[in-house]
Amino acid sequence: MPHPLRIAVLASGRGSNLAALLAARERGELAAEFVLVASDKSNAGALQLAADAGVRTLVLDPKAYPDRRAFDLDLFGKLAASGAELIVLAGFMRILDGEAIAPWAGRMLNIHPSLLPKYRGLHTHRRALEAGDLEHGASVHFVTAELDGGPVVAQAILPVAPGDDEHRLAQRLLPLEHRLLPAVVALIAAGRLAWRDGGPWFDGAPLPAPLRLGPHGLLNA
C-alpha cells in the first residue's frame, strides 16, 4: 500500500473547506494524513477545527515580517519541514510571492469561488450577479504566481436562481465547494491526477478541460 498523501492546509477564515477535507478522510474517501494547518490569522476558525481533529497548527503573523517575501519564505519553509507533499489553500486570503512558492509548482491547490478564468480575486458572487451570468460555480486549480491564474483542474457549476443575492449565491455554492475540493484531493491521493511536464494530467493523459462535479459528487471528464 502506498502511504497516505501528506497534506498541509492553509486557511485564513472559518475553515468549512478544511472541515470538508477532514470529514472526507473520516469517511474513508480520502487517503490522506493532515500534517499541518497553518494560518495568517490567530482567530481563524480553521485552527480550532484542526486542533479538534488532532492536527498540528501553526500561526504566523504577517506583521512580524519585513515584507511579503520574508513571510512567504518562512511559511513555505515551515511547510516543507512539515513533510507535506501537497498544500491546499482553503480560503487563504493572501497573495503569494512567486519565488517562495516556486518549489511547490504542481504540488499546491487552491479553491476559488468562481468559474475561472472568470472573476479572479474578490467579490466573485457579486460580480457574477452584476454580469447577469446564468451560471456560477467554483474552481480548483493548481497554484502559480499569478493570482487565481494556474491551470484549472475541476469545477462545480451552479445555475443562478431568481432571487439570488450575493449572500444567497455564496451560501448555495458552498456545499458544492465542500464536495469539489475533497474529490480533487482524493484523485491526487489516488495518483490519478498529477502534475507532469508543467501541467495537469488525468488518468495518464494531459487533462484537456476541467473535470466537472457530477450530481453524485464524482468528478467526470
Residues near 96 by beta carbon (within 8 Å), at least 6 away in sequence: 72, 143, 145
> Of 9, 10, 15, 22, which lies in the binding site for ligand GRF, with binding defined by CB under 6 A?
15
User: Residues in the chain, how many?
Assistant: 221
Hey, which residues are catalytic here? 112
Binding-residue pattern over the window 171 to 190 for ligand GRF, x denoting contact by CB under 6 A: ------x-------------
> Of 32, 36, 91, 202, which lies in the binding site for ligand GRF, with binding defined by CB under 6 A?
91
As measured in angstroms, the least distance from the Cβ of 196 to ligand GRF is: 26
As measured in angstroms, the least distance from the Cβ of 20 to ligand GRF is: 8
What are the angstrom distances between the C-alpha of 184 and each of 72, 126, 189?
A: 25, 26, 9
Report whether the peptide linkage leading into residue 117 is cis, meaning its omega lies within 30 degrees of zero.
yes
Give 140's strand partners. Answer: 111, 154
155 part of the interface to ligand GRF, by CB under 6 A: no
Nearer to ligand GRF, 1 or 10 (CB): 10
Evaluated on CA atoms 19, 151, 94, 69, the torsion sign reads: positive
What are the angstrom distances between the C-alpha of 170 and each of 53, 93, 164, 181?
A: 26, 17, 9, 16
114 part of the interface to ligand GRF, by CB under 6 A: no
> Of 4, 6, 14, 129, which lies in the binding site for ligand GRF, with binding defined by CB under 6 A?
14
Binding positions for ligand GRF, rule: CB under 6 A: 11, 13-17, 90-91, 111-113, 138, 177
